[in-house]
Amino acid sequence: MSDFSIVFEFVLVQISVAFSPGLIIALVINESVQKGRKNGLQVAIGAASGAVFITLISAGVLTFVFNLIPEILTLIYIFGTLYIFYKGF
C-alpha cells in the first residue's frame, strides 16, 4: 500500500507540473494561433510524450539510486570501522 501512495503522489505532482502554465503551454498556443490546430496538437503531443519519457527515466534513475543506499551505507560502515581500527592501533 505504501508503494501505491508514493506512485500516486509522484504522478499527481507530475500532472500538476505538466498542466501548469509555462513555456510549453505558450509554445502550443503560439503554434496553434500561427499555424493552426493540427500543428498545435502535434506540438502538444510531442511535448507531452517528451515529458512522460523524461519522467519515466527520472523515476528509474531515482529508484536505482535509492535501492543502492543500503549497500553504500554498508560500505561506509565497513570502511569506517577499518579506519577506526587503523587509527586505534
Grid look-up 502538444 returns: 44
State pLDDT tens for residues 5-43: 777 887 887 777 766 777 878 888 888 899 888 988 898
State pLDDT tens for residues 42-88: 988 998 888 888 888 988 888 888 888 888 889 999 999 999 999 98
> What is the pTM for the complete model shown?
0.54
Which amino acid would we find at residue 4? F
Note the pLDDT of residue 65: 83
* Nearby residues of 1 by Cβ (< 8 Å), 6 or more positions away: none
- Are the beta carbons of 54 and 70 closer than 8 angstroms? no
Grid coordinates representing 35 are 499555424
pLDDT tier for residue 2 given thresholds of 50, 70 and 90: low
How crowded is residue 32: how many other Cβ atoms within 10 Å of its Cβ? 17
